Amino acid sequence: MRSLAGRAVLITGAGSGLGRAIAVRLARGGVHAVIGDVNADGAGQTERLIRDDGGSANAVVLDVTNPESVKAAVAGAADQFGERFDGLVNNAGTPGGSGVLQTSDDDWDQAIAVNQSGPWHLSREFLRVIGSAEREFPADIVNVISIAAISVGPNEAAYDTSKAALAMLTRVLQRDAHDNSWPVRVHGLMPGGMRTPFMAPGHPADETRMDPDTASGAVEFMLTLPQDTFVQNLVISSRNELTP
């Protein structure tokens, strides 16, 4: 298994919820966590949690819907850490929960921008930064998709559609990485409902949801796999939650 120690990993949407849980867990394993979030206060709180716990982290304001913000965050991490910067966790997401007739154009566009286009912009910039030269260990991209990509929940037209598109983007990245011999592994993770602020009222009760640390453990597993392996797609959910 590969060690996390000494690596720098950018985690998007790490100012709260699952993103924060991922950043904290990876930092405990020796990663320098680059905490990206559009909410500067939330990102700063995650940084302080990690530093108070003895870990290493820095917060950056990152709007995944803005290509210039994405470029600045990725370039900044590459300039600061060089080849140590070899991990990207595309975790940022937005619910956008409404039925087809109730979903406004703005809600639809926002869900697509955050959940689909955001990982696209970040993955492309990350691939440009790591280049094509061989590495001792491949870099890693983890796309936090959602079980919604393969199920249809009530009143989640924009969310379900955007997550299904992210699942396909993950497959496309995996195919291109293989065909072009890029020094990167692309992993897909489809978690079910978790006990985080992301889950809106009306969703399943807390007792049916996973602890976010369970999903963050799956991310850690992906990043520490032997160099000749990757996780094509992992669906993980609470046994108390039945996926429709």
Looking at residue 207, its pLDDT comes to 56
Helices and strands, counts by H and E, the chain: 7, 7
**For position 58, what pLDDT does the model report?**
98
| Residue of 184, 187, 183 whose CA lies nearest to 22 | 187
CB-based burial label for 196 (10 Å; 0-12, 13-18, 19+)? middle
pTM of the complete model: 0.92
- Domains contained in the chain, CATH given: 8-236 (3.40.50.720)
Output DSSP code: residue 83: G
Task: Name residue 235's amino acid.
Answer: V
Task: For residue range 5-58, list pLDDT tens digits in order.
Answer: 999 999 999 999 999 999 999 999 999 999 999 999 999 999 999 999 999 999
pLDDT per residue rounded down to tens, the chain (244 residues): 899 999 999 999 999 999 999 999 999 999 999 999 999 999 999 999 999 999 999 999 999 999 999 999 999 999 999 999 999 999 999 987 788 999 999 999 999 999 999 999 999 999 999 999 989 999 999 999 988 888 887 888 999 999 999 999 999 999 999 999 999 999 999 987 766 665 554 455 455 677 888 899 999 999 999 999 999 998 887 666 655 5
Is residue 163 within 8 Å of residue 145, measured between CB atoms? yes
CB 167 within 8 A of CB 188: yes
Phi and psi at 66, nearest 5°, equal -110, 110
Active site residues: 159
Instruction: Answer whether 38's CB lies under 8 Å from 63's CB.
Output: yes
pLDDT of residue 201: 46
